[in-house]
Chains A and B, each alone.
Chain A
Amino acid sequence: MNKHYTEGEPIRDTKAPAGPIEERWEKRKFSAKLVNPANKRKMHVIVVGTGLAGGSAAATLGELGYNVTSFCYQDSPRRAHSIAAQGGINAAKNYRGDGDSIYRLFYDTVKGGDFRARESNVYRLAQVSVNIIDQAVAQGVPFAREYGGLLDTRSFGGAQVSRTFYARGQTGQQLLLGAYQALERQIAAGTVKMNTRHEMLDVIVSDGRARGVIVRDMVTGEIERHLADAVVLATGGYGNVFFLSTNAKGCNTTAIWRAHRRGAMFANPCYTQIHPTCIPVSGDYQSKLTLMSESLRNDGRVWVPVKAGDTRPASEIPEEERDYYLERIYPAFGNLVPRDIASRAAKNVCDEGRGVGPGGLGVYLDFADAIRRLGREAVEKKYGNLFEMYERITGEDPYSQPMRIYPAVHYTMGGLWVDYDLQSTIPGLFVVGEANFSDHGANRLGASALMQGLADGYFVLPTTIGDYLANGPYGEVDDGAVAEAEAAVQSKIERLLSVNGTRTADSYHRELGKLMWDYCGMERTEESLRKALERIPELREEFWQNVKVSGTADELNQALERAGRVADFFDLAELMCIDALHRTESCGGHFRAESQDADGEALRDDENFAYVAAWEYGEQGPVLHKEALEYEYVKMSQRSYK
């Protein structure tokens, strides 16, 4: 049997301090060396990406006095895809007095992640969550408020307390603008130098340490080298490997994949999150999928017809012929079960032929009860912008007929492996936000991505990177390493432009995405993954022989940008499938059909798989390093939301 990989040494030290869990972060903060304020401005840090994690990190490092250079591929740092997060941000404030606490948020997150996240990291995340809300409010983030002037909260999937702070359906936008404004303040102050419309294409590793990046100026095409004392990647997730996802069109894996090629281990690449409430695909030309906030599940009820093949319009299906399947199967959590469970349940009812809409790939999300109970006005206040968005895209009015929704790729829990300090296996290369793998285990809870991005950027990284920098300086950067990285980037671009074949990069990307969705999507089997692992290298080969990229390297060339990203998606897709194949258990967002209980729920195999799979790049195939996961506080158990 071709195993596709070899196994290396386990990872034994994640650098988390020992002792009681609630004291670990305090301990680490105190043990971290400080940099003399006068020396900070001599220390140069590169931050790539300006979403919640990168924007807040660059701003905070600038405030601390470091000399920061920031890059983003968009025309302004305000546009990073964190901006599209709708529902909210979790924090253990317990402003409601409903029994929330740091411990409970920690517990919910570990359980929600299906016991595949590190306890130390998650506890720290829950601790820091309260500071994030304070910080955002002080910046002027206009969270929803009650008439008494205090902050409003709502419930979200996977939790039984109301701990999600929100700004209508635009929480990500408001939080990102808060971070963006803090960043612009630092740009004005001269501590941060911003480079927009720049794409990172490689990391410079000199003497074993990350010392800079190679970027392409996307307007002039110029390849630039930027050197620094440390590099921070905040370049987001890789959901676009599926072509269709809720990610922005520009989201890509190139930065983290290039870092992986240079020695950063990639952890749990197969953990992808399929979000249950997205607008279904309408045709072959579809360029992306749009998510409808999970908060809709607070008041909307999910159902399909009881009978398979029922094509009557929703309004003509009487109550007793509707199956509110989430409420039926999971009475305790009902429509608020975690995302992975809601998504798979939708897939199951559609597989039974009970799906609704074109192609039977949809389920209803119905607000009729909520409108009766609360009145249309109240529903409009809560969800108005989401309803409008739905109507704009589908041409249907969700006030008078139920929405149709279907799961779509939304978030990737996997990412570059980092230790407790958020440092990758390349010293000096730090990874924050969705780009790392750290806190969500095998499944992320709703409203936790914003929390993690900002926790990393505002509070964790600024401390831990200081410790790394204080231990420097790390000497001159090797010219040879810089030249080699630059040459590698140049040659890849030239190669892409010289193929001059007959298919566009997008058409390959679409085919790769479909293959990944079919074989490494919501449900994976040994057979499907082996098929994918056969097909991906063939398709990649064809891509390199037959792709057509028009234009030249020294101009704004969007065809070239896309082709470069697709090339890296091929390599990543292969690693995802290898990871998914090796993990024969089901956990969180990773559902192996071979591993399920009698009710069709994901069945973990803690004896054999309670570890982080960290993959090292190898010319002869990837090398697996296991980091054992231990649970001292939350007892490992099969998740139950029934």
Chain B
Amino acid sequence: MAAEDLPSEFDVVILGTGLAESVVAAACSRVGQRVLHLDRRSYYASNWASFTFNGLLTWIQQLQEESQPKEVPDWSSQLEEGEELIYLSSSDSSASICNLQVFCYTSEEDEEEQAPDTTEEETVRAADEDAVQEVSEAESAETREEEERRGADKGQAAQTAGEEPEAESHPHAAPSQSEPAKKKLSYAQLVKEGRRFNIDLVSKLMYSRGSLVDLLIKSNVSRYAEFKNVTRILTYRHGNVEQVPCSRADVFASRQLSVVEKRKLMRFLTSCVEETEEQTAYNGRPYLDFLCDQQLGENLQHFVLHSIAMVTADTPTEEGLASTRQFLRCLGRYGNTPFLFPVYGLGEIPQCFCRMCAVFGGIYCLRHSVHCLLVDKHTNRCKAVIDSRGQRISCSHFVAEASYVGAERKKVATPTRFLSRAVLITDSSVLASDSEQQVSVVTVPPIAAGCPAVKMVELCPSTMTCIPGTYLVHLTCQSIGSAYQDLSPLVTRMFRTVESHDKAETRPAVLWCLYFNMADGSGTEVEGHDLPSNVYVCSGPDGSLGHEHTIKQAEFIFHKILPDEEFCPPAPNPEDIIYDGETTAATGDTQEEEQSPQKQEEEETKEEEETKEEEETKEETKEEEHLQTEE
């Protein structure tokens, strides 16, 4: 649909498709608000996005090209009586992302391709896979061998993907282990299979009783996505990766704990659930002191402090206990760990909420932004916005992601903090086990004084985020220096790169990695900026492991806009929806529902999702995307 078709009046205009904005959009649309949801980027989910390998390379390239901020036209001609203009920031996400560094540690060969580090080539590589295969068919015998092996890998992946997660631990999945030392995947192969990657910009997990999971269930948005359990919690200690026993079954099976330690750990965890006077006596004192006094040995203190509470030695006891409780509360709801991970990556989640918004009538345009706000001088309320095509669109509320708001108008208490991120493609797991399909969280305490504590998530191919034979590793910490400075020492220790010299043969090899810093959204407030009273600012991703901050923020904004409405009530079942023309008296006749346009719409959206693997909808150069429903 063309841009002129945009209606000129909405209840809520939302700029940016990150998680908070998408939840607000879905919530508003769900209760009948007319929502216009825009993003100046060509992809959904802003800094929450997931990219294919090729998509990520394009993203890197665009950031490195450092596009000049476009001159914003003067829209003052659109001003009406008693109005003033507020211009939004026109610079791209470059402000929130910096210090990009890319390293490739695998051979670049695969015959005709070379110099993959030069970004020009990478976009070309997004070519049709079949075509590339045809080329390699004509190559040497060695390549053909390579192809066959890869084919076998694929078959295996298809098999494991179909199985239930429980079944994956069966010993019969083992044969592939006996394979002779496998050849390292080349960069060319990563590129060739690039679209089977889903690489997240943020690395988070969903607490199984956290506010995001609750919201997904409550709103029925969960029907749009699939999830996998994180299967194990690991920690890095004394130079080794160890499994942290946290569930009852883990503790039972653990070989590293003595039976007495098992009892002590279980007893401690059970006693944590309830608040006791003994605990409150430690308020304000470090959690570590409390743990010491609980007669937990050094082993157990480490596990509880770093891997279960995921706090540092000086965290106060009440905070440490709160995180321990949250961990325990989430344990066992869906599996042996407290965490879930969405299949196809975290970028799915904001898109699911956008889909929900669209199903209830929200309108979506990518590569479409808002240039300025039109503010009523007397009421200090935003009456309308002017979009990037100069169209005046009136609205009652305006929500924007923080990066759209100019620095001069934002009120930030402290200087913007950053997160250090690293994304690694490796050839094996940091801790080999019976099953190759493990989703692991690794907690890494500071490796030296002054170093940050790092959270690491290792994803296996069954999460549909990487190709068989590889693992996708996300590292996150609060920035001290640049991402490379913060994280590369750890990468060198835990993995095999050209920098690791000593006997590193047993460690996973890094094939490719990316370092970057991202602004930490936890400092941004919804209100209190130099902005009209009906304009709300959503922060970008924060550094914590869960989504509590973001969901809380979205709910807060929603209640600011609609104080009397329910936040994301369950979406009705399709058969319970009454469509125009249907008699209100229930006849039980379900025939006509099939023809209803809204239902069709919903089905189309689902279909679109299902076919996503085949057609790279995100890569398509769509001018804009309308998901409009009938009035």
Binding between chains A and B: no
